[in-house]
Structure 1
Amino acid sequence: MKCVVIAAGYATRLGELTKNFPKPLLKIGENTILGRMLDDIDKIPEIDEHIIITNHKFAHIFEEWVKTTTDGDIKTNTDLTDITDYPSNPCSKYKKPITVVDDGTETNDTRLGAVCDLLFAMDKLQIDDDLLVVAADNLLFFSFQEFVDFAKAKGTSCIMCHEQPSIEKLQRTGVVELDDNNKVLGMEEKPQVPKSHWAVPPFYIYLKKDLDLVRHSVENGCGKDAPGNLAHYMVEHTTMHAWPMSAGRFDIGSLDTYYEAVEKYG
C-alpha cells in the first residue's frame, strides 16, 4: 500500500505564513503537521512508500525536509520562511522511502486540483497498489492502522466519517448515509439539507481493484478541486464502506486554527 499525501495547494487562507512555505511543514511544537501524520503512518506494516504530491513552488522545500528525516541534525530556523536551516525531526527517521512529486504548477490560479494531483502522481510513478490518500493539514488523535484494518476487513475501498452535530459545518463538507454495516449508501458534497450527521474528513483508501475507476474519474465527470469529489464519484461507481473515526482530529485551515493548534498541542 502506498501513502499518497495531497500537498499541492497554496494555503491562501494563511496569508503571509504560507506565501512562500507549504502549510504541511509548519511546525507544531518540535514537529511539523506532516511529520506528526507520517510518524504514525510509517509504522503501518502495509505501507511501503510515502508519496508527497506538491507544486513546483514548494517541491524543493519538501525535498529538503525529506533530507532531514534521514540526515544528521540541522540547525533550527526560527522564522520558518525558508528551508535552509530547517529543524531536523528526531521522531521522524522513517523506515519507508519518501518520494516527492512536482506537479509543475506555481500559482493558486494554475493549480491542478486535488483529484488531478492524485492522478498525476499515479501516472508519473505508474502506481498499481492499494492507496491510502491523505490531506496533510490535520492533527489526528487516532492511528491510521485502524483505518487500514477496517478496509482489509471490509474488502472494499473506504472513506472515514465522524459525527458532526452542527448543520452549518455539515453544509461545508461531504456527508454520507450509511447502513448498519457501515456501507455507504450515498454521499453529498456540501448539502444544504444534510441527510445524516456523518461528515467525511479528507482521508481515503482506494484498493488496487478500483484504481481503474480512479484513473478515469475526471474524464467521466468527477470534480477536480477537492479530494472529496473523488470519494463522491467512487461511492456512485463501486461499493464503499466508511470507518467511524475512533477519536478526533484538528483541522488547520486558517491562521486562527494554526495558532490555536500551536497553543494546544505545541
Structure 2
Amino acid sequence: MKALILAAGYATRLYPLTKHWPKPLLLVKEKPIISHIAEKIDNLNGIDEIIVITNNKFFHYFEEWAGHFTFKTKISVLNDKTTSEKDRLGAIGDINFVLNNHAVDDDLLIVGGDNLFSFDLKKFVAFAKNKNNDCTVGVYNIKDPSLVKHYGVVTLDDENRIIRFQEKPEYSDSTLISMCIYYFPRKSLESVREYVRKKDCHDTSGDYISWLHKEKNVFGYEFEGVWYDIGDIITFYHASVTFKE
C-alpha cells in the first residue's frame, strides 16, 4: 500500500501566510501540518511509501522537509510542474499525474495536505480493505445544517454505501460531509484515468466522487474526533488553538 498527500495547491485564501510558503508546511503545535499527517500514515501497517505531490513553486520546500523526515516509511516528493493558481492541475489532475508518472500499482491511501485531525487511520484502512468496492471516503458529521453549503455532502445507506453526493448544497437533510481522505484499491485506479479522459473538470475530488458513486460501489467511513479542513486564516487559527490544548 502507498499513501499520497495532496500538497500542490496555492492556498490563496490564506494570503499573506501562504504567498511565499506552502499551506501544509504551516506550523501547528510547533510542527508542520504535513508532519501531523505523515506521522498518522507512518503508523499504519503495510505502508511502503508516502508520496507528496506539490508544485514547482514550493517543490524545494517539501524536498527539504522530506530530508528531515525521520520515520520508517520512504518519502517521495513529486513536482507537477505547475507554477500558479492559473495552471494548477487540481486534486484529480494531481492524482492522475502521480498514477502516470510514479508507476503506482498498489492500493492507494490519499489524504489532503490541509487536513488536521486527532484520530488515527487504522480503522479506516481496515474498513476499506474489508469492502469489495472502488473507493472508501472519509466522512465527518459537522452536525450544523448551516455549514453544509461549504462542503460536499453525502448520504449513506444501511451498509455505509454512498447513495447521494451533493456539492455545496444550500440545504441538505444530511450533515455528513466528505473529507479529503480516500482509499482506492489497486483495481480502481483505472477509474481515475477514465474520469480524466471523459471530463474537463479535474479540480475537486468531490466532483470525482459525485461521478464515481453513480458508476461504482463507493462507501463512507465516519470519523469521530477533532478535524479541521484548513481552508482560511480563521480555521487555521482555531486549529492552532485547539491542538495546543
The alpha-carbon deviation at position 167 of structure 1 amounts to: 2.5
Are 2:92 and 2:192, in contact at CA under 8 Å, matched by a contact in 1?
no
The letter for the 1-side match of 2:211 is Y
The letter for the 1-side match of 2:222 is P
Q: 2:206 aligns with which of 202, 221, 228?
A: 228
Query: In the alignment, is residue 167 of structure 1 matched against residue 160 of structure 2?
Result: no
- CA–CA distance in structure 2, aligned partners of residues 263 and 65 of structure 1: 24
May I ask how many residue pairs the two structures share in their alignment? 243
The alpha-carbon deviation at position 21 of structure 1 amounts to: 0.9
Q: TM-score, normalised by structure 1?
A: 0.87
After TM superposition, the structure 1 stretch with the greater mean CA deviation from structure 2, 185-194 or 133-142, is 185-194
Query: In the alignment, is residue 46 of structure 1 matched against residue 50 of structure 2?
Result: no
Displacement over 4 Å in runs of 4+: none
Instruction: Name 2:23's counterpart in structure 1.
Output: 23
- CA–CA distance in structure 1, aligned partners of residues 65 and 226 of structure 2: 27
Q: 2:113 aligns with which of 105, 119, 136?
A: 136
- Structure 1: unaligned runs, 5 residues or longer: 70-92
In structure 2, do the counterparts of structure 1 residues 264 and 246 end up closer, same or farther at CA, with 3 Å as the change threshold?
Answer: closer
Q: Secondary structure at the match of 1:110?
A: coil
Q: Secondary structure at the match of 1:17?
A: coil
- CA–CA distance in structure 1, aligned partners of residues 202 and 146 of structure 2: 24
- CA–CA distance in structure 1, aligned partners of residues 65 and 227 of structure 2: 24
Measured on the aligned residues, the alpha-carbon RMSD in Å equals 1.4
Instruction: Name 1:115's counterpart in structure 2.
Output: 92
Query: In the alignment, is residue 204 of structure 1 matched against residue 179 of structure 2?
Result: no
1:41-96 Cα shifts (integer Å, max 9, x gaps): 11101211101111000001000111111xxxxxxxxxxxxxxxxxxxxxxx2211
Instruction: Name 1:90's counterpart in structure 2.
Output: none
Are 1:176 and 1:184, in contact at CA under 8 Å, matched by a contact in 2?
yes
Are 2:34 and 2:114, in contact at CA under 8 Å, matched by a contact in 1?
yes
1:146-165 Cα shifts (integer Å, max 9, x gaps): 11011012232200112233
- Structure 2: unaligned runs, 5 residues or longer: none
Q: TM-score, normalised by structure 2?
A: 0.94
Bigger-Rg structure (1/2): 1
Q: Secondary structure at the match of 1:200?
A: strand
Q: Alignment identity in percent? A: 36
